[in-house]
Homo-oligomer: A and B are copies of this chain.
Amino acid sequence: MITIVSSTNQKNSRSRQVAEYYRQQIQAAGADARVVDLADLPVDFIESALYGNFGKHDAFNAVRDLVEGASKLVFVLPEYNGSFPGVLKAFIDGFHYPSKLSGKMVALVGISDGGSGNPLGMSHLTDILSFMNATVLGLRVKIPFLKKNWVEGEIQDEFIKTLLKQQIEMLVKLP
């Protein structure tokens, strides 16, 4: 089972929409997938689920287990202040150590209103996942200018669609 993470806790985010789209594309490619939305994290998890409270918060554990238990992962990364949302890293800081992501394959998709498509956020997360011994697919897909490129639940740019398809094929195929 591939888990796709919508990497912000903002409600009803476009990251969530793009994650849903990605899920459909994975299923069209013949694999199983589900979406995990960080908007479902307990609002106080930075205290109630970290450090001395590690493992004590059932609702946090439920979300975390969907990510840690996945065979492969996708992160949809909106650009917040030149990187990905802090809440994603705080979530990761509540994961088991040694990492249950060790040896797993991960795909990254960066999205932004502006022209960048979040290359720095994808670079930063690659470093963090590398620390956890998870392997990020070389093809990191950027979706910039989201208002133009994401209309009515569909990617508008044919080249980006091709890249997403290529990324999904690699993710599904690799062990």
Write the chain B residue with the least CB distance to A106. B138
**Could you tell me the distance in whole angstroms from the C-beta of A163 to the nearest C-beta in chain B?**
10
Query: How far apart sit A128 and B120, CA to CA, in the bound complex (Å)?
Result: 9
Contact with B along A48-70 (1 / 0, CB 8 A): 10110000000000000000000
Query: How far apart sit A138 and B132, CA to CA, in the bound complex (Å)?
Result: 8
Contact with B along A78-118 (1 / 0, CB 8 A): 00111101111111110100000011000000000001110
Q: Are A136 and B135 in contact (CB under 8 A)?
A: yes
Copies of this chain, count: 4
**Could you tell me the distance in whole angstroms from the C-beta of A104 to the nearest C-beta in chain B?**
8
Q: Interface size class for chain A?
A: 35 or more
Query: How far apart sit A170 and B139, CA to CA, in the bound complex (Å)?
Result: 19
A131 and B82 in contact (CB under 8 A), knowing A10-B51, A87-B90?
Answer: yes
What is the interface of chain A, defined by CB distance below 8 A to chain B? 9-11, 41, 43-48, 50-51, 80-83, 85-93, 95, 102-103, 115-117, 119-120, 123-124, 126-140, 144, 170, 173-175
- A9-B46, A81-B132, A86-B92 known; 12 new pairs, CB 8 Å cut-off, are A10-B50, A80-B93, A81-B131, A86-B88, A89-B89, A102-B138, A103-B170, A115-B116, A119-B120, A120-B127, A124-B127, A135-B138
